[in-house]
Chain A
């Protein structure tokens, strides 16, 4: 487990890997990755129990990325945390590679579930949390969701289910960057008042600055009798100024001068 200074450094490294991977692969969704990097850094750096060389360790905490399009962030944090060699990240999006654009569990240590279609992660996570309750296990299940994916009805089925079954070993973290595929969430299909909705569904709701590691840690670490959801207010593209709050970076690939500029902002030495 890392201290808070080190989670900042972990986040910075993950951002650098992510921008490099997306640039080399010619892939996309970098804005969605950067908005959740701090969440990943706190989870993998300070919160979760795991053994990177024994990724199927029975008592590990489980992590599911429901917003599978941000998979490069997970690949990068897993590599930085020792699940596999960081050199593997160069394979992302290359022909014949298993490091797909959307997160895949096939052959990649540490990935619990392949996702990519939205609205799948929370129901599966709830099933995993229920299994832990049945088997009297103490590990937790963490799932990171996008705010846009809350449009999917399957999530609300699972929100109801988890509350009904008192799954307080399940924690959802909503990456609330407020932008989805074409416009803002509020222009597309308004989520607000999101906090009230989630409370009404029977969850313990905590709202934090999703880039503040201490706030994230305290919220994640707090005890709860109900399933807990953290609304992490984030900035899409966080960490690279020209990507921040720009929907275009859901799709664009940084290359040339823009790549260099991103690297400079992330303090990469040439």
Chain B
């Protein structure tokens, strides 16, 4: 996903000199070419995320279009109040990019597990939250945020989920349908959508046809795709590599309640209000927390058996 990110940043920096990339001293081996080509549009702020967001606000108040970059929780939680007060309240075009969503850095420990960021970012008024599941979504996400007024969050995942082309195009406010199906709808965000896709293939052989949706635009959310899931399929299963509290399962359930959509089945896969005290690679931790493909398959089968 990082390659897609860099590709889009180059394109934007080339066409618009107001675009600036600020990093909190991360991106070794990723941004060197960018810095060389656009020295006046690149700034390594140092390991100082509060200052990074304040500087971003000052630059944006003067008309710059800013991308901030760091990993895990650093560009979001470490400077949450600067995001809220300085960026969102002033309606500034500042776009926060975090790599390492969920358990991308599983082995590094809980400090590097980004498992509440989506919930917290989507709670901020005026914030656009995009969580790509595919490289195509990552590449488009950067451009979508550039074009969208106000503050945005692009949460990237280290896990690879390639070569799945969107069926209906990618834009802010729209979910991305990755697979058609009419029995049940799986809604996922981030690289873990791969597990949903794998599960869908396995379930297909058991005559359960899953629709798979990447909830790329977590905020604003695609009400239509949720309505269709409730009306045209038996219901919704949400899958996220993060805490359930306030996450995308919550977001989807809010839409159902607010709009009186009544799915027959509704189930959320995610972390049950806990931090991971163990480490492991992303796949290991998905399996440990029962948010991997085989956990999805057995749960969905049991829902249909009942």
Among B53, B58, B81, contact of A130 (Cβ-Cβ < 8 Å) = B58
Bound-state CA distance A125–B61 (Å) is: 10
B85 within 8 A of A: yes
Chain B residue at minimum C-beta to C-beta distance from A159: B51
Bound-state CA distance A128–B56 (Å) is: 9
A113 within 8 A of B: yes
B50 within 8 A of A: yes
- Interface-facing stretch out of B40-48, B114-122, B139-147: B40-48
A63 nearest CB across to chain B (Å): 13
B59 and A127 within 8 A (CB): yes
A161 and B90 within 8 A (CB): no
Among B46, B57, B58, contact of A129 (Cβ-Cβ < 8 Å) = B58
A131 and B54 within 8 A (CB): no
A157 and B48 within 8 A (CB): yes
B residues 160-199 in Cβ contact with A at 8 Å: none
A124 within 8 A of B: yes
- Interface-facing stretch out of A115-123, A191-199, A260-268: A115-123
Q: Which residues of chain B are within 8 angstroms of A132 by Cβ–Cβ distance? A: 62
Among B40, B45, B48, B50, contact of A134 (Cβ-Cβ < 8 Å) = B40
Bound-state CA distance A117–B54 (Å) is: 13
What is the 8 Å Cβ interface bit string for chain A, positions 80-117, against chain B (1 contact, 0 not)? 00000000000000000000000001000000111111
B151 within 8 A of A: no
B203 within 8 A of A: no
Among A113, A114, A117, A125, contact of B81 (Cβ-Cβ < 8 Å) = A117
Among B46, B58, B64, contact of A124 (Cβ-Cβ < 8 Å) = B58
Q: Which residues of chain A are within 8 angstroms of B48 by Cβ–Cβ distance? A: 157, 160-161
Bound-state CA distance A124–B51 (Å) is: 8
A131 and B64 within 8 A (CB): yes
B32 nearest CB across to chain A (Å): 20
Q: How many A-B residue pairs have CB under 8 A?
A: 86
B82 and A123 within 8 A (CB): yes
Interface of B is mostly: helix
A115 nearest CB across to chain B (Å): 8
A126 and B40 within 8 A (CB): no
Q: How many residues from B make CB contacts under 8 Å with A? A: 24
A102 nearest CB across to chain B (Å): 10
What is the 8 Å Cβ interface bit string for chain B, positions 54-86, against chain A (1 contact, 0 not)? 111111111110000000000000000110011
B82 and A120 within 8 A (CB): yes
A154 within 8 A of B: yes
A232 within 8 A of B: no
Given contacts A123-B54, A158-B51, contact A113 B90 (CB under 8 A): yes
| Size bin of chain A's contact surface | 20 to 34
Bound-state CA distance A188–B51 (Å) is: 24
Q: Which residues of chain B are within 8 angstroms of A157 by Cβ–Cβ distance? A: 46, 48, 50-51
Q: Which residues of chain A are within 8 angstroms of B54 by Cβ–Cβ distance? A: 120, 122-124, 126-127, 154, 158
Among B46, B82, B90, contact of A105 (Cβ-Cβ < 8 Å) = B90
A126 and B58 within 8 A (CB): yes
Given contacts A114-B90, A134-B40, A161-B55, contact A154 B64 (CB under 8 A): no
B89 within 8 A of A: yes
Q: Which residues of chain B are within 8 angstroms of A114 by Cβ–Cβ distance? A: 85, 89-90
B51 and A120 within 8 A (CB): no
Q: Which residues of chain A are within 8 angstroms of B81 by Cβ–Cβ distance? A: 117, 120
A105 nearest CB across to chain B (Å): 7
B58 and A125 within 8 A (CB): yes
A130 and B59 within 8 A (CB): yes
A150 nearest CB across to chain B (Å): 14
Q: Which 5 A-B residue pairings sit nearest by Cβ, starting from the closest?
A: A127-B58, A123-B54, A131-B62, A157-B51, A127-B55
A-side residues, CB < 8 A to B, are: 105, 112-117, 119-120, 122-132, 134-135, 153-154, 157-158, 160-161
Known contacts A116-B85, A124-B86, A131-B64; 4 additional CB pairs below 8 A are: A117-B81, A124-B61, A128-B61, A128-B62
**24 A–B pairs (Cβ distance < 8 Å), ordered by A:** A116-B85, A120-B82, A120-B86, A122-B54, A123-B58, A124-B55, A124-B58, A125-B58, A126-B51, A126-B54, A126-B58, A127-B59, A127-B60, A130-B58, A131-B58, A131-B62, A131-B63, A132-B62, A154-B54, A154-B82, A158-B54, A158-B55, A161-B45, A161-B51
